[in-house]
Chains A and B, each alone.
Chain A
Amino acid sequence: MSTKIKHINLIVGLLSVGVALYVFIESASFPLPHQSQLGAAVFPRILVILLVVLGLWISATGMKRKEDATIHHIKEVVLCLFGLIFYGAAIKPLGFLITTPIFIIFTLYILGVRRITSMIIISVGTTGTIFFIFRFLLSVPLPPGIIAL
């Protein structure tokens, strides 16, 4: 089932105004330049002015053409995003060798894989290969977490 995000370009236009406000407020505290020096605020301010002009232009034309963004499987995409966030958060405390197989099995399940043997082979094989390449071929330490090898 597809999900449509309506008025995406209008949202983008409004966001550009928000970014511009932030840049102007934040850059007000930047130090003033000496003579003939390019001030720290000048370049970002020119950029956000251009950003707002383009953002509003895109909003206006987007409204006319009624463009939407379509995501076919939003549930699976969001679940994978959460999976990634878990992976990123847990990789250091729990370690690469524990979090990676969990993430692989979780993601494969979301993507419709149900055969347990395939899941085990893929997760163990991938984890082992990547660990071997980084640890022994490249001598790059991966987070050991609670298993120190």
Chain B
Amino acid sequence: MQLLLYGFIHLFTSWSLIGLFLGVFVGVIIGSLPGLTATMGIALLIPFTYGISPEIALSVMVGIFAGGIYGGSISAILLKTPGTPAAGATVLDGYPLAQKGEAGKALAVSTIASAFGGLIGALILTFLAPQIAKIALKFGPPEYVLLGVYGLTMISYVSGKSMAKGYFVGIIGLLIATQGIDPISGFPRFTFGSLNLLNGVYLLPVLIGLFAIAQAFEGVDQFDQPKMEQVRLTKIGISTKEFVTILPTIIKSALIGTFIGAVPGTGTDIAAFLSYGEAKRSSKHPEKFGTGVIEGVAAPESGNNACVNGAMIPMFTLGIPGEAATAVMLGGLMVLGLQPGPLLFRDNPQVIYTVFASTISSNVFILVFGLIGARFFARILQIPKNVITVLIFILAIVGSYAMRNNVFDVWVTIAFGFLGFLMVKAEYPVPPMLLGIILGPLVESNLGRTLLISDGSLWIFFKRPICWLFLVMIIVTIGTTVKKRMQVSQS
């Protein structure tokens, strides 16, 4: 509690607050523009964090993530196109409401639900994460190997249509991670004789390539699509009675969202749809869902913003990303020189508690921006998409170059960007590659240490209780996803 108080004091007396403000602001813009995701926003932002303290950098990232997921609802309501996949469920009732001439009410509901849902999620994150980290501090090398493998099984969930393609991409990521000096023998591997690859591929240009350049190429490929019609914006606000009606839905959805987020491998879109489904199921008038009811907007928006915070639980405490945005954030942490995982709580409590204070405070900004600035964000939606595509290209190239003043990083960005674009076109999921690159060194180096401890015997994995827990979780994850896939393909 004292540490959290310190976090708040630090947030309010440093540049972190300005960083958070800007993060949420930029996040809402990025989120509201269809095609641009919070993940891309975080990837493009990392170069801007060069030289500033990790607290500020992380506050900006938290702001972009939360603002981005909220921002998606603006275009969902006004354009019938979710700005991010997380706002997919918001379209169902948000757009019909707007068509009835109540766009302002829909935006107010989505803002309030996002802020309250996010707040509940942030509070759970703040109080639960340190407890998990305490347990994780007891992990030794064998536990880390299995934690890494468990993290890799999350590929099952982020693979989209084909699990084989997901794992294929994941293994490519793991192979890329083996480039550079081997952690055990010190021998350089697969460097093609290049000094630039001696320390392996630098993570930042890979992130920017896969999540920003690839997106911009996608924009080029769809450059001649017509501009979308926007619904007229009415007075923004809801009555007290309406607020009381949606409050139970907001709380329930926030709990669902946080839980879904905390399970690695699920994401904000799943949280939103599940929250919507539950609100509809438990409603007294489920038949009205889809025609423009306010609960139908409140549920997904509360769920997805709570999920943002839930997703940060495994990322901060265990160092395993649950989905694309937290995977990129994890990469960002590493670029900042922080090792994600339980040690972060022991070695950098001031950073982590400032971040917690940011996650809680970000919701206030969402409330302010949403209720006062919605008209401005609606205007931003009018910016031609092609101009934004060009802007992403520039920010990506400059960002990847500026971090280390190295042209090699620019080539890596372009190469991974084009690869990411081709992968999307051929329906190969991109996030597993990042999981592989991030978790590969964790698994390999700890496997090396484990074998040294055990004199080369693999039995050590069966002699430790936490290892058993992970083994069961790994088997259950793979077993249930394979079974589910088989059922789907049969039907």
Is B470's CB within 8 Å of the partner chain A?
no
Contacting pair A111 B220 (CB below 8 A): yes
Known: A40-B182, A51-B168. A91 touches B451 (CB 8 A): no
Interface centre among A71, A85, A88, A142 (most CB of B within 10 A): A88
A108 near B410: Cβ-Cβ < 8 Å:
no
How many Å from the CB of B25 to the closest CB on chain A? 15
CB of A110 to closest CB in B, whole Å: 7
Contacts A44-B189, A111-B223 given; indicate if A5 touches B426 (C-beta within 8 A). yes
**In the complex the two chains form, is A38's CB within 8 Å of B447's CB?**
yes
- Chain A residues numbered 17-47 whose CB sits less than 8 Å from any CB in chain B: 19, 23, 26-27, 30-31, 33, 35-40, 43-44, 47
What's the dominant secondary structure at chain A's contact region?
A: helix
Please name all residues of chain B whose beta carbon is closer than 8 Å to the beta carbon of A44 when the two chains form the complex.
Answer: 175, 178, 189-190
How far in angstroms is the closest Cβ of chain B from A4?
10
- Nearest to A67 among chain B residues (CB) is B427
B185 touches A26 (CB 8 A): no
| Contact pick for B394, options A57, A69, A103, A138, CB 8 Å | A103
Asked whether A72 and B222 contact (CB < 8 A) given A111-B390, A130-B395, the answer is yes
Partner of B448, one of A12, A38, A103: A38
A98 within 8 A of B: no
The answer on a CB contact under 8 Å between A140 and B168 is no
Whether B447 and A43, one on each chain, are in contact in the complex, defined by CB atoms closer than 8 angstroms, is: yes
- Complex Cα distance, B425 from A110, in Å, reads 21
Give Cα A57–Cα B464 distance, bound, in whole angstroms: 35
Interface residues of B in 424-444 (CB under 8 A from A): 425-428, 444
- Report A-chain residues with C-beta under 8 Å of the C-beta of B184: 33, 37-38, 40
- Are A139 and B185 closer than 8 Å at their CB atoms? no
Chain A residues, Cβ within 8 Å of B422: 69
Contact at A139–B223, with CB atoms within 8 Å? no
Among B220, B223, B395: residue with most chain A CB under 10 A = B220
Query: Pick the contact of A58 from B48, B164, B393 — CB < 8 Å?
Result: B164
Judge whether B402 and A33 touch: CB under 8 Å: no
State the CA gap A126–B392 with chains docked (Å): 11
> A residues within 8 A CB of B178?
43-44, 47
Interface 0/1 of A68-107, CB less than 8 Å to B: 0111110011001100110111011000100010011001
Q: What CA separation (Å) do A22 and B84 show in the bound complex?
A: 40
Q: Is the CB of A143 within 8 A of B222?
A: no
Q: Which residue of A lies closest to B167 (CB)?
A: A54
Neighbour of B185 across the interface among A40, A50, A111, CB < 8 A: A40
Query: Is B165 engaged at the interface, CB distance under 8 Å to the other chain?
Result: yes
CB pair A54 B223 closer than 8 Å: no
Residues in B with CB closer than 8 Å to A63 are: none
Whether B229 is near chain A, meaning CB under 8 Å from some CB there, is no
Does B456 sit at the interface, judged by CB under 8 A? Answer: yes
CB distance from B234 to the nearest CB of A (A): 32
Contacting residues, chain B, for A141 (C-beta < 8 A): 405
Give 1 or 0 for each of A137-149: 1 = CB within 8 Å of chain B CB: 0111111000000
A132 at the interface (CB under 8 A from B): no
Kindly state the interface size class of chain A when it binds its partner: 35 or more
* Residues of A with C-beta under 8 A to B51: 138-140
- Interface check A124, CB cutoff 8 A: no
Given known A-B contacts A81-B418, A140-B51, A104 and B390 have beta carbons under 8 A apart: yes
B196 CB–A CB distance under 8 Å: no
B220 near A38: Cβ-Cβ < 8 Å: no
Whether A133 pairs with B394 at a CB distance below 8 angstroms is: no
> With the chains together, A139 CA to B213 CA distance in Å?
25
A84 to B95, CA, bound (A): 38
Most buried by A among B390, B414, B454: B390
Query: A5-B425, A40-B184 known; 13 other A-B pairs, CB under 8 Å?
Result: A12-B168, A36-B455, A50-B171, A54-B171, A57-B164, A88-B397, A103-B393, A104-B394, A107-B393, A108-B386, A122-B390, A130-B398, A142-B401
Residue numbers of B with Cβ under 8 A of A are: 48, 50-52, 162, 164-165, 167-168, 171-172, 174-175, 178, 182, 184-185, 187, 189-190, 213, 217, 220-224, 386-387, 389-391, 393-395, 397-398, 401-402, 405, 407, 410-411, 414, 417-418, 421-422, 425-428, 444, 447-448, 451-452, 454-456
**What are 23 A-B interface contacts by the 8 Å CB criterion?**
A5-B426, A8-B426, A23-B190, A30-B187, A36-B451, A36-B452, A38-B184, A39-B185, A40-B184, A40-B189, A43-B178, A44-B178, A54-B167, A58-B164, A67-B426, A70-B425, A71-B221, A73-B220, A84-B397, A96-B398, A104-B390, A130-B398, A141-B405
Which 5 pairs across A and B sit closest by C-beta, in order of nearness?
A36-B456, A69-B426, A111-B386, A38-B448, A40-B182
